[in-house]
Structure formats: C-alpha cells, structure tokens
Structure 1
Amino acid sequence: MSLRIQAVCIDSTDPRVPAAFWEAALGWRRTYEEADEIVLEPPAGSPEDGVSPDLLFLKVPEAKGPKNRLHFDLRPENRDAEVARLEGLGAKQVSVGQGPDVTWVVMADPDGNEFCVLRALRPDEMPG
C-alpha cells in the first residue's frame, strides 16, 4: 500500500496560539502561514524531515470541547526536565483521570489540547 499520513490537523479559534507553542516545543519550522492556516514541518534535513507528518493548525469558529479524541505521546530524554521546559512555554499539567501511579505526565498546550510526556526509555528499551 502506498498510503502515508501527510498531516495531523489541529483545530483552533486562533491557530497562532497552538502553532507557536508546538513550534517552540518541537523545534519545528513554519513552512506556511495564512490567517486561518499554519503548517509546521520538522527541521530541514533532520531524520524526521519528509517522514513525520506535518502539523496543520486550522482556524475554526468553535472552542475546544472536552477531552481530545487524539493526542500526542512525547518521549523525552528526561521527563521531569521536559515537563518543566514545556510549562515554561505555556503548557499546564492536567488531570484526565490518570491516577497517581502512572509513569507519564498529562499536559495541555496553551489552547487546551492534551498530550502526554512519557518516561524516558531505559537502556534495554533503546533501539539497535
């Protein structure tokens, strides 16, 4: 099959807000911008360039509803340091009923979209 995901679309009443957060959080580049549409892509020449789906932020009239039906799981080298960095960019820790004994942190970007920061991989879990 020759099918691939081109973009993950994220609706917002103001696409500039989540786009600015994710641009800084991921270190991605803005490759297209209009008032109602912003595209982020991985850094040119990076291992993700041309492989990872673009992030497409689209202007919609309605505000975000309850919990996301789709969210990102991010794998950092250091979970606690990354949570602190993302909070500095405007993310907040949130509860979606995950309980106290989980190994990840649930956060929301400045537009309210939830995502998870997972624990770092152990050496025995690393590829190769």
Structure 2
Amino acid sequence: MVVRVAQCTIDVEDRDLMVAFWSAALGYQVEQGDDGSAKLWPAGQPSEGAPTIWLQGSGTAKQGKNRLHLDLVADTDPQAEVRRLVDLGARRVDVGQTGAEGFTVLADPEGNEFCVLDAAPTR
C-alpha cells in the first residue's frame, strides 16, 4: 500500500487575498469556510488524483524560506505563464538559483515560494 498527495495546505494571513491569487493562478473553484479557511479544487471533472489546496487562516505572516513548495507546469508557454502569475500578484524571488535551472522561482502575494517548471517532470 502507498499514499498519494491529496491536498496541499498553505497557512495564510489574508484569506481573501490568497483565495483571489491561487484560484486565478490555478483556475480552481473556491469554497470559503466560516473559520478563516478556504478549499480550492480543480474545476470541471478533475482526475481522481488531482490535489486540492487548503488555505488555512493562520493570523500571522510567513517567516523564513519554505521547506516545501509547489512546482507548477504550464499547459503552453512557461514564460507567458510566469508573466500572467506576476500580473496576478506573484513576484520573482532569488533563492540561490544560477539562471541555468529549468524553472522560474516566484512567491505568492504572502511570500510563499513556488516554481514554474519549463517542462513537466519526467521519470
């Protein structure tokens, strides 16, 4: 028996800001809770293994570098996707990359790092 990634949880200070960013970035639907949280899930008929995103209200700002982050892949042009994400509120960040990597490092509006890969991972 094995397990699979079912959901990614992100602690957030401003739920509404982060819901707006991540739902637009991923094209996910939103269900907001009364407890300061929100669940985001793929629109339409997602595959059984498609992960959801849980935005968990923390009441505090992010501190330090992420120990775990999302790697996203674009359906088409990765650099066009990077520009779209920046227009939505992401920003480019330097975490020590050399410029020769096959990805672009960004941070969401609250500073959580994530990557946009140049191509989907292979085995």
TM-score normalised over the length of structure 2 = 0.86
| Distance in structure 1 (CA, Å) of the matches to 2:83 and 2:30 | 24
Structure showing greater radius of gyration is 1
The equivalent residue for 2:70 is: 72
| Distance in structure 2 (CA, Å) of the matches to 1:2 and 1:32 | 31
| Distance in structure 1 (CA, Å) of the matches to 2:61 and 2:116 | 24
State the Cα distance separating 1:32 from its structure 2 match.
3.7
Letter in 1 for 2:65: K
The equivalent residue for 1:99 is: 98
Pairwise CA RMSD: 2.0
| Distance in structure 1 (CA, Å) of the matches to 2:95 and 2:4 | 30
The equivalent residue for 1:15 is: 15
| Distance in structure 1 (CA, Å) of the matches to 2:115 and 2:36 | 27
**Any gaps of 5 or more consecutive residues in structure 1?**
none
**Any gaps of 5 or more consecutive residues in structure 2?**
none
State the Cα distance separating 1:103 from its structure 2 match.
2.0
The equivalent residue for 1:54 is: 52
SS in 2 for 1:21: helix
Letter in 1 for 2:71: D
Letter in 2 for 1:69: R
The equivalent residue for 2:33 is: 33
Q: Does the 8 A contact of 1:38 with 1:57 survive in 2?
A: yes
TM-score normalised over the length of structure 1 = 0.83
Q: Does the 8 A contact of 1:94 with 1:107 survive in 2?
A: yes
Letter in 2 for 1:54: T
State the Cα distance separating 1:44 from its structure 2 match.
2.9
The equivalent residue for 1:43 is: 43
The equivalent residue for 2:113 is: 114
Instruction: Give the aligned length.
Output: 121
Identical counterparts, % of pairs: 40
Superposed CA deviations along residues 98-119 of structure 1, whole A, max 9, x for unmatched, are 1122221100011111000111
